[in-house]
Structure 1
Amino acid sequence: MGLLLLEALGALLVLVLIVWWTMFSGRRGGERSGPDEDPPAPPPA
């Protein structure tokens, strides 16, 4: 029983590491915003 819990804990740890790696790896400043991603200008008042 203890071995089964240890294996489940190891699988959970691997899953958490994969999620952490995919969320926080990449560019230091985040993704670059392209010209299409700029917010629209407010309408004239």
Structure 2
Amino acid sequence: MGLLLLEALGALLVLVLIVWWTMFSGRRGGERARQDEDSPPPPPPPPGA
């Protein structure tokens, strides 16, 4: 019984580490600003293109 609890605790620890890694392992300065947020949208293509 104790071995099952130890294994469950280990699996929970692995799950918490995976979630922590995916949440907080991004870029140090945050996400880069997207190029299209700073510039106006491109003009529509000409008709028939």
Does the alignment pair 1:29 with 2:29? yes
Flag structure 2 segments of 5+ consecutive residues without an equivalent: 39-49
Give the Cα separation in 1 of the matches to 2:3 and 2:27.
Answer: 39
Identity percentage over the alignment?
Answer: 92
Tell me which structure has the larger Cα radius of gyration: 2
- Give the alignment's TM-score, normalised by structure 1: 0.71
Runs ≥4 residues deviating over 3 A: 35-38
Cα RMSD after superposing both structures: 1.4
- Give the alignment's TM-score, normalised by structure 2: 0.66
